[in-house]
A and B are shown apart, each in its own frame.
Chain A
Amino acid sequence: MHRSFNLFTLVDLKSGESAKISALRGGKNLNTRLSTLGFTPGVIIYMTHNYGHGPIIVTVRDTRIAIGRGEARHILVTREIE
């Protein structure tokens, strides 16, 4: 089985796609807020709405969260392609 891992930031996901959070690259405050809300490495994140501009809406741990694009760029995700 050939498997490659691709590293993206959260804004690169299209509406309806899922990925796994691999790391948080914000400052300490941003990381604390994000991890409190359930954005922790390893968790599956689902892109509910990404219209290409403006804040995105993601679903993580059954919670819908609106997040600015700037903040979303600090969230690294991997898509597993088999």
Chain B
Amino acid sequence: MNLFNESRNKISTNGVTKKNLSIALAGQPNMGKSTIFNLLTGLNQHVGNWPGKTVEKKEGEFQHNGHTIHLIDLPGTYSLSANSPEEIIARNFILQEKPDLVVAVVSAANLERSLYLVSELIVLETPLMIVLNMIDVAEQEGFTVDAKILQAAIGVPIVPMIASRASGVRGLLDYFDQFIEQKLEFFPKLPQISADHQHVKEVIDQLIDGFVPEFYPKNWASMKLLEGDPEIYDILKSVLPLERWETIDDILKQHEDAGLAIASGRYEWIERNIRAAVNRPKLGQVGLTDRLDRFATHPIGGLIILAIILGLTFWLTFTIGSPIQEWMDSKILVPLGTLAQSLLIDAPTWVTSLVVDGVIGGVGAVVTFLPIIIIFFAAFGFLEDIGYMARAAYVMDNFMHWMGLHGKSFLPLFLGFGCNVPAVMGTRVIESWPARILTILLAPFVPCSARLAVIAFIAPAFFGANAFLISWGLILFSIVILVIVGVVLNLIFFKGERTAFIMELPLYHVPNLRSALLLIWQRSLSFLRHAGTIILMMSIVVWALSEFPGGDLETSFLAQIGNFVAPVGEWMGLDWKLTVALITSFMAKENAIATLGVLFGRTEEFGLLETISMTYSPAVGLSFMVVTLLFIPCAATVAVIKQETGSWKWTMVNILLMLVVSIGVASGVYAIASGLGL
């Protein structure tokens, strides 16, 4: 059977007699695929990584009419070529794991473009069903799509849906029933390939016959070769006898234009199929997206809007999040510590200290930042869901160019103001590896909420009424440092290498609340899991260092380390206490305050702030704040840097980079400040 010259005449076998059904959800980005996944699986889902990849894998299960349906959310991809790890994962899953059914999610408002993935899925043997989503967004932009006509044209079942309003789920489940009962009809009409390329393809078909790894259909492999697919190229090159391969390679070189011709052919197939089904907006009718984009993507207006949105996000985070954090600290952590102390009254002192200072003090302190992070996630998720984030990336593109990055890198960096951990994980949106590494290296330079808290706490000790101004100045200063480091790194290591900036600006739409809440829940959970495990470990290590050998901080290993590195501290005007405070900030940034509290807390009749301001000059204070802002990433961030780069080398580069920059800049600031007589 030739997949490309004729439609499959037979009705594909469908239906399953087994009790467990596996269904893969495929779709391009911004099609509402995750919302559909969340609607079907609810909380019964598992988020992990695809084996060996830093690409998120979402799986879930639900019961339907006595069947257990296992749903796999494939990564959002524009096509099934091998341009990105996501695309390779998606196609290899379908070809190798052979799900019972693939459900492709397309958007009624972007029908032509979103059917491109369908044009690739439809030639695979796995039965295909289409969800025609975002009917409401289409209407908002002036389109109507007739699902029945489209279904007749393409020849696979099509279910209309508005996933954001949970409308159409019933219809989708009905189709699942019909699929299980083998009542669904599939007579897909396949995309054509032009006659001259068809001939070339047949020649390649013969040459690779018998050599293609079993899970790749021969027809599909030859098509991918013609398209210039790097993965299939390498695989076949390694399995074919040299002579045969050289013949194929010659043919491919002569037909380098085939890739473009095949893509055009697929779009022609799409145009034919949708012609009767789609009603376009009248000429001159301007949709909601274009009206909003006149402001949101304007070079000046867009920046103003972005600044207002970022300001609001900060304001929300700190007016709602900070009081909750303080409340958790005083109303939960402190009583919890007291409770633990009374429960452990008979235990040895070091056990009490381990639980109260080490575990509750260390892990607890990080957990109290969760409200701030949740609000940040919520704001970020909302902006992403309505489709705004791509506009933010667009207006920031010019600035990101200075660092050899493009607009997409702005999004994870912004997330860094909440916490650097999700910022590093957020770099997954960047396609090119050098740009991604550079963004990861820069992410810890973004002052996270924990460091902002340290600054907000310490600045008043030295600068009284000017504290607010100084704090903002320091935040801006650390962003300037970020840009300088970015520019330098780009010039030296990345040689100004630039990757193509091509980014879809999705249509604005109202997101689904339930799905948005689920996303916040997942992200918070994953933050807790990442932060919880590593921080628990680090808390215990730092506690042990501060407790042993003598049970006294001033003679502890930590103090010894502090004394050992004190000469370096002196460049920045820091004594061993401030140096130790800085070192403990590695565990969690806000520990700097806790450590100072412990170090100064014992001999005082004044509060901590007064003691500090009497002990140190403003120049020392300034230098300490600068080095705290720029110091090596916290333990949790280091752990995700290792996870995301998959390399200890890059992790160490990042730590060393920040160590050098922080000490260098703080020494400079100290020299200048004390020169000015501060």
Q: Per-position contact with B for A32-75: 1 when CB-CB < 8 Å, else 0?
A: 11111110111100001101011101000111111110110000
Known contacts: A28-B259, A48-B290, A68-B501. The answer to whether A55 contacts B397 by CB under 8 A is yes
Task: Give the distance in Å from the alpha carbon of A32 to the alpha carbon of B289 in the complex.
Answer: 27
Q: Per-position contact with A for B281-322: 1 when CB-CB < 8 Å, else 0?
A: 000000001100100011100000000000000000000000
Q: Are B267 and A57 in contact (CB under 8 A)?
A: no
Task: Give the distance in Å from the alpha carbon of A47 to the alpha carbon of B264 in the complex.
Answer: 21
Known contacts: A31-B259, A55-B407, A62-B111. The answer to whether A37 contacts B504 by CB under 8 A is yes
Q: Per-position contact with A for B56-99: 1 when CB-CB < 8 Å, else 0?
A: 00000000000000000000001101010000000000000000
Task: Give the distance in Å from the alpha carbon of A55 to the alpha carbon of B289 in the complex.
Answer: 18
* Interface residue count on the A side (C-beta < 8 Å): 34
Q: Are A36 and B293 in contact (CB under 8 A)?
A: no
Residue numbers in B under 8 Å from A41 (CB-CB): 260, 264
Task: Give the distance in Å from the alpha carbon of A43 to the alpha carbon of B267 in the complex.
Answer: 10
Closest to A69 in B: B501
Residue numbers in A under 8 Å from B406 (CB-CB): 68
Residue numbers in B under 8 Å from A57 (CB-CB): 293, 297, 394, 505
Closest to B287 in A: A62
Residue numbers in B under 8 Å from A64 (CB-CB): 289, 293, 504-505, 507
Q: Are B112 and A62 in contact (CB under 8 A)?
A: yes
Q: Are B264 and A66 in contact (CB under 8 A)?
A: no
Q: Are B113 and A31 in contact (CB under 8 A)?
A: no
Task: Give the distance in Å from the alpha carbon of A28 to the alpha carbon of B502 in the complex.
Answer: 15
Q: Does B256 sit at the interface, judged by CB under 8 A?
A: yes
Residue numbers in B under 8 Å from A54 (CB-CB): 299, 397-398
Residue numbers in B under 8 Å from A29 (CB-CB): 83, 500
Q: Does B498 sit at the interface, judged by CB under 8 A?
A: yes
Most A C-beta atoms less than 10 A away, residue of B79, B81, B112, B500: B500
Q: Are A63 and B264 in contact (CB under 8 A)?
A: no
Task: Give the distance in Å from the alpha carbon of A41 to the alpha carbon of B83 in the complex.
Answer: 21
Task: Give the distance in Å from the alpha carbon of A43 to the alpha carbon of B270 in the complex.
Answer: 13
Within 8 A of A (CB), among B449-463: none
Residue numbers in A under 8 Å from B264 (CB-CB): 35, 40-42
Q: Are B500 and A30 in contact (CB under 8 A)?
A: yes
Q: Does B110 sit at the interface, judged by CB under 8 A?
A: yes
Residue numbers in A under 8 Å from B558 (CB-CB): none
Q: Does B390 sit at the interface, judged by CB under 8 A?
A: yes
Task: Give the distance in Å from the alpha carbon of A29 to the alpha carbon of B394 in the complex.
Answer: 22
Closest to A54 in B: B398
Which residues from chain A sit less than 8 Å from chain B, CB to CB? 24, 26, 28-38, 40-43, 48-49, 51, 53-55, 57, 61-68, 70-71
Given contacts A61-B113, A64-B505, 10 further A-B contacts (CB under 8 A): A29-B500, A48-B293, A49-B297, A55-B397, A61-B112, A63-B113, A66-B407, A66-B502, A67-B503, A70-B501
**What are 24 sample pairs from A and B whose C-beta atoms fall under 8 A apart?**
A24-B260, A29-B83, A32-B81, A34-B502, A35-B259, A36-B81, A36-B116, A37-B113, A53-B299, A55-B397, A57-B293, A57-B394, A61-B110, A62-B111, A64-B293, A66-B390, A66-B394, A66-B397, A66-B503, A67-B503, A68-B406, A68-B501, A70-B500, A71-B501
